[in-house]
Homo-oligomer: A and B are copies of this chain.
Amino acid sequence: MDKTASAKSTRRITEPRQGAQAIRRALAVLRILAAGREDGVPLAEVVRATGLTRPTVHRIVHVLIEEGIVERHDKTGRYAIGNQVPELALARARPSRLLIAANPSLQRASTEIGDTLFLTVRTGNDTLCVDRRIGVYPIQVLSIEVGARRPLGVSSAGVAILAAMPAQDARKIVAANEKRLEAYRTDVATVLGQVTAARRLGYGMREIGLVQGTKSISTWIKTPDGRPAAAMTVSAVRTRLGPRREQEVAEILLREARIIEQAIRG
C-alpha cells in the first residue's frame, strides 16, 4: 500500500498506473472515432484530436480493424466504431441506473414543456446523449440523436456539467479538449466564460445552439457524492424560448433534476 517514496512530483493519491501507453492511446482513438458515429472520422482528424503522430494512429487504427473493433468505410476512407463494440457491450445488458431513474422525469417534463428533451451524461472529457424525448409542439429540434458525443463544453449540456464541478477540474477538462474545440468554432476562453455564466445562473444556456436558430437550456444532475454525472436539456427554436419562457422551463428542469438526484440514491 505504501508507495516507495517517489522522487517525482508529489501529486495525488492516484498516480496513473504505467505500463500500458499503447492501450491508453488505442482507447483515446476509439473515443474520437465514437464521436464520428456511423459516418466515422478521417485519419487526419484523429491525429489532430488525439495529438498523437500519424504513424502511431495509423498503426493503432489498423490493428483495431484486424480485431474487428474498428471499421473503415471503403468509399470515404473514414474510420468508425466497428460492430464488435456493441457485441462486447451486450455483456452489460441492463440499462443504467440513471436511465431508469430519469425516465419518469423525462416523461413528465416532456409533456409539460412540449419541446425536445435530452438526457446527456458525462463520459471522460465528452458529453454523450443517452436519451431523447420528442415533444408535442410541431417544430422540434431533432438534429441531436441518442449516441451523439461531443467534447465537454460545446453544448449547453456540457457547459452545465462543467459548471457543476470545481472550477479547477472544469478548466483542466476544457484545456484537454482544446484541440477539438476548433471543429466547433469555439475556444477555451469562450467555453470557460459560458461555464462561469451558467454557474451564476444556476443552469446552462446557449443563445445560439449547435444547430442554427435554436436555443438550449440545461440543468445538471449530481451523484450522491456531489459530482455532476449528467444534464437534462431542452432545445427549441430560439423564438420559442424568450426570457419569460426560459425562466419557466428552467424551473421545471431544476425541479426534475432534483427528483432524479433523489432517485439515483435509492
* Residues of chain A having any CB pair with chain B under 8 Å: 16-17, 19-20, 22-24, 26-27, 30-31, 33-38, 59-60, 62-64, 66-69, 80-94, 96, 121, 123-124, 128, 130, 145-147, 149
Enumerate chain B residues within 8 angstroms of A91, measured Cβ to Cβ: 33-38, 80-81, 85, 147, 149
Compute how far the CA of A30 lies from the CA of B128 in the bound complex, rounded to whole angstroms.
Answer: 22
Question: Helix, strand, loop or mixed for chain A's interface?
Answer: mixed
Give the 9 A-B CB pairs with smallest separation, nearest first.
A90-B147, A89-B89, A20-B63, A34-B91, A86-B89, A22-B22, A81-B91, A23-B26, A93-B147
Residues of B within 8 A of A26 (CB): 20, 23, 26
- Please determine whether B123 and A59 come into contact, CB atoms closer than 8 angstroms: no
Residues of B within 8 A of A19 (CB): 59, 63
Q: Is the CB of A63 within 8 A of B123?
A: no
Interface pairs (19), CB distance under 8 Å: A16-B66, A20-B22, A20-B26, A22-B23, A23-B64, A27-B67, A34-B88, A36-B91, A37-B92, A37-B93, A38-B93, A38-B94, A81-B88, A83-B92, A86-B96, A88-B89, A89-B89, A90-B128, A93-B147
Closest Cβ neighbor of A124 among chain B residues: B68
Q: How many copies does the complex hold?
A: 2
Among B23, B30, B68, B94, the residue within 8 A (CB) of A60 is: B23
Q: A31-B88, A85-B92, A91-B149 are in contact. List 18 more A-B contacts (CB 8 A).
A: A17-B66, A20-B59, A24-B63, A34-B88, A38-B92, A38-B93, A68-B123, A80-B91, A81-B92, A84-B124, A85-B85, A85-B91, A86-B92, A91-B147, A92-B147, A93-B145, A93-B146, A93-B147
Instruction: Indicate if the CB atoms of A17 and B59 lie closer than 8 Å.
Output: yes
User: Chain B residues near A31 (CB, 8 Å)?
Assistant: 88
Q: Within the complex, what minimum Cβ distance (angstroms) separates A23 from chain B?
A: 5
B30 touches A88 (CB 8 A): yes
In the complex, residue of chain B having the shortest beta-carbon distance to the beta carbon of A81? B91
Bound-complex Cα distance A26 to B16 (A) = 17
Return chain B residues, CB-CB under 8 Å to A27.
67, 69
The complex places the Cα of A31 from the Cα of B69 at a distance, in Å, of: 11
Given known contacts A17-B62, A17-B63, A90 and B146 CB-to-CB distance under 8 angstroms: yes
Chain B residue at smallest Cβ distance from A65: B17
Give chain B nearest CB distance to A193 CB in angstroms. Answer: 28
A60 to chain B, nearest CB (A): 6
Q: Which of B23, B38, B93, B123 contacts A84 (CB 8 A)?
A: B123
Once bound together, how far apart are the Cα atoms of A89 and B33, in whole Å? 11
